[in-house]
Amino acid sequence: MSYQQYGISPQLVERIKQKLKNPAVKDRVKAVVQGLSKIDLQNSAKVQQLVRTCTSLLNEKLTPAQEQQIVQFVLAQRIDPSNTFHLIKLWGMFR
């Protein structure tokens, strides 16, 4: 299922991808998500905090609706960071 089906704009995704090309920014975001588990990524409050932290690092301003769309997208993906297939699937979505 595509992120666009959750109302997340391709322009927002492209802006974030561009910002993550900066190695310093990428390293800060990686430090935030390092060590997350599947349980963490199914916890709505934790995902919302991650979204807020990462968008702050990326200097992106999201509306509450955009933030909620991203949280719902992450929860719906049922991501398991220790499952390589899940990571490849996500990589394919955002290439």
Q: How far apart are CA 39 and CA 81, in angstroms?
A: 10
* pLDDT on residue 32: 94
**9: number of Cβ within 10 Å:** 12
Buried b (16+ CB within 10 A) or exposed e, 22-55: eeebeeebeeeeeebeeeebeeeebbbebbeebb
Domain residue spans in the chain?
Answer: 3-94
Burial status of residue 85 (CB atoms within 10 A of its CB: 0-12, 13-18, 19 or more): exposed
Give, for all 95 residues of the chain, the pLDDT tens digit: 589 999 999 999 999 999 999 999 999 999 999 999 999 999 999 999 999 999 999 999 999 999 999 999 999 999 998 898 988 888 787 77
This prediction has a pTM of 0.88
Closest by Cα among 89, 84, 50, 92 to 67:
50
Token pair of 59, please? Answer: 């200097």
Helices H / strands E in the chain, number of each:
5, 0
